Amino acid sequence: MTTLLYTHPICIEHDPGRGHPECPDRLRAVMQGFEDDDFKALDRHEAPVADLKEIEQVHEPYYIERIFENMPKEGRVYLDPDTGISPASGEASRRAAGAVCDAVDLVIKGKGKNAFCAVRPPGHHAESSRAMGFCLFNSVAVGALHGRARHGLDRVAVVDFDVHHGNGTQHMFEHDEGLFYASSHQWPAYPGTGLASETGEFNNIRNLQMAPGEGTAAFREGYREKILPALRAFDPDLLLISAGFDAHDRDPLAQISLQTEDYAWVTGELLAVAGECCDGKVVSLLEGGYNLQALTESVQTHVRVLMAD
Ligand SMILES: [Zn+2]
């Protein structure tokens, strides 16, 4: 069994606007990175379109309708000051969520040992009825709920190492004892949620706040002492990773100083817990990461560790 890779060309066409950091070149750079010989063994899949019923498990139907009604035929529409959509954005966001659902299906059925979804737009800021922070649909949450509905999983965990707090995912999870969400992120920073004191109705949320300028030491200590033990105690049947790479030292949107090797480390640690709890069943998806070279290197590093598991 090998690692599955999901993507689709329409995810490159989603265009939030000239000069926008969440640009099509991000995914071009990521996919270029997978042309190296190291990645020949990946089992490559086209990201399918998510059924709207799957998306309705975490988003209000009126919100989903409004997104598609607002989809421009040409040019761009802004859903919030940061979140522009172009004609390709509807299909791209349905395929981003669809990739995660299909990856969950194959990993649960044992047809792949784990998976990486190279998709955009990202999703972790999307709330049940609000687009924000470059995100339309919360793909990781759609995948988690799909895992429960389709496969009868009791406990699904999401770990999010994007430098921004996944407010949308936390809000969708915090009142549900079968779901766990842990995030490491810069504080203070966008979107202004994710205090360590936010622990969820069922003690099922963990937030690791990192101060601007902190890097490897604080990140690893936070995972070792806080996130990994809580994840192990939750004992998930499936682990999803919101893999944003904007905590990298070279990233222009935040001030955390992770090195590329830190992504190998955290991926290895998460796989070790998944190995103990759920036979290594892990599905990871791309969230942020805005320095193209650092993004490519970090994704390569992350996926090499997934492949070596
Ligand atoms: Zn981010």
Among 277, 190, 253, which residue's Cα sits nearest to residue 22? Answer: 253
In the reported structure, the alpha carbon of residue 138 is separated from the centroid of ligand 1 by a whole-number distance in angstroms of 13
- For the stretch 136-162, pLDDT in tens is 999 999 999 999 999 999 999 999 999
CA–CA separation, 124 and 141 (whole Å): 8
In the reported structure, the alpha carbon of residue 116 is separated from the centroid of ligand 1 by a whole-number distance in angstroms of 17
Residue 222 has a pLDDT of 98
Q: Would you please indicate which residues are annotated as catalytic (active-site) residues?
A: 125
96 and 118 Cβ atoms separated by less than 8 Å: no
Query: Which residues face 83 on adjacent strands?
Result: 80
Give the gyration radius of the chain's Cα atoms: 17
What does DSSP assign to residue 51?
A: P
Claim: this prediction has a pTM higher than 0.95: yes
Statement: residue 111 has pLDDT above 90:
yes
Residue 148 has a pLDDT of 97
pLDDT band per the 50, 70, 90 thresholds, residue 218: very high
Among 248, 241, 240, which residue's Cα sits nearest to residue 297? Answer: 248
205-219 average pLDDT score? 98
- For the stretch 93-102, pLDDT in tens is 999 999 999 9
Dmax over CA atoms of the chain, in Å, equals 49
Beta strands in 108-232 (DSSP E): 114-117, 156-160, 179-186, 205-210
Residue 22 has a pLDDT of 98
The CATH code belonging to domain 3-308 is 3.40.800.20
In the reported structure, the alpha carbon of residue 132 is separated from the centroid of ligand 1 by a whole-number distance in angstroms of 12
75-88 average pLDDT score? 94
Among 219, 177, 77, 179, which residue's Cα sits nearest to residue 136? Answer: 77
Statement: residue 1 has pLDDT above 90:
no
Among 215, 290, 218, 297, which residue's Cα sits nearest to residue 256? Answer: 215
CA–CA separation, 239 and 267 (whole Å): 12
In the reported structure, the alpha carbon of residue 192 is separated from the centroid of ligand 1 by a whole-number distance in angstroms of 12
Strands 156-160 and 77-80: unpaired
Cα first-last separation, the chain: 10
Q: What's the chain's average pLDDT?
A: 98
Percent of the chain with pLDDT strictly greater than 70: 100
270-296 average pLDDT score? 98
Give the residue extent of every domain in the chain: 3-308
